[in-house]
Amino acid sequence: MANDLSGLDGVDGYGSAIRKRENTNGRDLSYPPLPEPLTVPVYDNHTHLEIADGEHPLSYREQLDRASSVGVRGVIQVGGDVETSRWSAAAALIEPRMLAAVAIHPNEAPALESAGTLDDALAVINELAGQPRVVAVGETGLDFFRTPEEGRAAQFRSFEAHIRIAKEHNLALQIHDRDAHEAVIETLLRVGAPERTVFHCFSGDADMARLCAGRGWYMSFAGNVTFKNADNLRAALYAAPRNLLLVETDAPFLTPLPYRGRPNAPYLLPNTLRGMAAHLETDVSLLSAQITANTELVYGRWDAEPVTAAFAGAGDDPRPEQTPRGGLA
C-alpha cells in the first residue's frame, strides 16, 4: 500500500489520518471514480481528512491532489475534539489547500463535562483559535439525536462557550445541528451569533432556510441533498438565497449519489454541486462562482496567511516536533 498509515495512532505525525471510520459493515469500501472536473473551482466547506476510510485509505495530500485535479481548490478541515483540532490546525499550517476549524463536537461535550475536563478542552480550543490559518470555530452546536436528555446541559454550555470563542477571535462559526433546530436558533439569538455563522450539513426545511436567510446565516449543503428521500432539503436549498449558499462533503460521510455508502472525499464535491445546480435549474459554473465568492467572504482567502515557510516544501510526513509552534504537540 502506497499510503503510510502508521500515523493512525497519532504517534507518527500529521502526514496521515489519526482516526479510522468505524462503520465498515457491509459497505462498499472502494473510492468512487473521479468526476468530470469543474470549470470554475469551489471549496469544500467541511471535511474530515483526519479520518481514514476505505479499503485503501488516502493520505490528506493524496486527497487534496485528487480534489485539485477536479477543481476543488481547497477545504476547511474540521476538528471535533482536542486531538483532531490540534491536527487540523497543524496540518493547515503546512498545507496551502487547507484551512482549519477547531472545536469540541457536541457529542463529545457531555463525557468531558462528566470527567471534569470540559473547561480544559475549551481552553485548548480558545488557544488554537488564535493560531494562523485557523479560520473557524466548529463543529459545535447541539445534537439531540445522539445525545440523551442528561447530556444536554453540557452541550448547551459547550456551544455557548464556542460562540464566545468565535466572536472573541473574529472567526466564523460552523454549526452542527441534529434534531435541534429550535434550540440552536434560540441559543444563537440569546448569546448573539458571530458575524459569519454557517450551518454545516444544513438539515432544516424551507421555513428554516428563510429564517436563516433573515439573519444572514450561511447554509452549507452536503451530499445528502442528492438523496432520493431529501425533498425537504431540496426545498430548503431552493428557498435559500444564493449569496448564503455553501457546499461541503463532510467526508468521509454522506457520499452523494450515485455512490451513497462508499467512502466520501473532497474530490466528490462536484457530484453534490452538480446535483444542486440541476435542482436550482442553474448553470454549474455560475453556481460555483457564487459559492466560491461566498466561501471567501466567510473564511477569507486560502493564501491570505502563508503556510509555514520552513515546511512549505516538506515531505509527506511532517512530524509534530518539527512544527515551530511548540504548543501544538
Q: Which stretch binds Zn ion (CB under 5 A): 53-61, 207-215, 244-252, 281-289?
A: 244-252
Residue 175 vs residues 95, 141, 184, 280: alpha-carbon distances, Å: 24, 5, 9, 24
101 phi and psi angles, rounded to 5 deg: -120, 140
- In whole angstroms, the minimum distance from the beta carbon of 176 to Zn ion comes to 7
Contact set for Zn ion, span 41-60 (CB under 5 A): none
Residue list, annotated binding site for a divalent metal cation: 46, 48, 139, 176, 200, 250
Q: Which stretch binds Zn ion (CB under 5 A): 26-34, 54-62, 229-237, 250-258?
A: 250-258
Residue list, annotated binding site: 46, 48, 139, 176, 200, 250
Could you tell me if 148 and 179 are in contact, meaning their C-beta atoms sit under 8 angstroms apart? no
Burial class (CB in 10 A: 0-12, 13-18, 19+), 320: middle
Cell 493547515 -> residue: 92
- Pick the closer one to Zn ion by CB: 95 or 250: 250
- Pick the closer one to Zn ion by CB: 144 or 323: 144
Q: Which stretch binds Zn ion (CB under 5 A): 29-37, 246-254, 259-267, 315-323?
A: 246-254
- In whole angstroms, the minimum distance from the beta carbon of 34 to Zn ion comes to 23
- In whole angstroms, the minimum distance from the beta carbon of 180 to Zn ion comes to 15
- Pick the closer one to Zn ion by CB: 77 or 308: 77
Count of residues binding Zn ion (CB under 5 A)?
Answer: 1
- In whole angstroms, the minimum distance from the beta carbon of 280 to Zn ion comes to 24
- In whole angstroms, the minimum distance from the beta carbon of 306 to Zn ion comes to 27
Query: And the C-alpha cell for 157?
Result: 454550555
b/e for 132-156, b at 16 or more Cβ within 10 A? bbbbbbbbbbbbbeebeeebbebbb
- Pick the closer one to Zn ion by CB: 264 or 271: 264
- Closest C-alpha among 81, 105, 101 to residue 91: 101
298 phi and psi angles, rounded to 5 deg: -75, -45
Q: Which stretch binds Zn ion (CB under 5 A): 178-186, 227-235, 249-257, 290-298?
A: 249-257
Element at 177 (helix H, strand E): strand 172-178
Element at 273 (helix H, strand E): helix 269-280
- Pick the closer one to Zn ion by CB: 49 or 307: 49
- Pick the closer one to Zn ion by CB: 254 or 307: 254
**By rule CB under 5 A, what string of x and - marks binding of each residue 136-175 to Zn ion?**
----------------------------------------
Which amino acid is located at 90 in the chain? A
- In whole angstroms, the minimum distance from the beta carbon of 82 to Zn ion comes to 16
- Closest C-alpha among 179, 129, 184 to residue 156: 184
Residues that bind Zn ion (CB under 5 A): 250
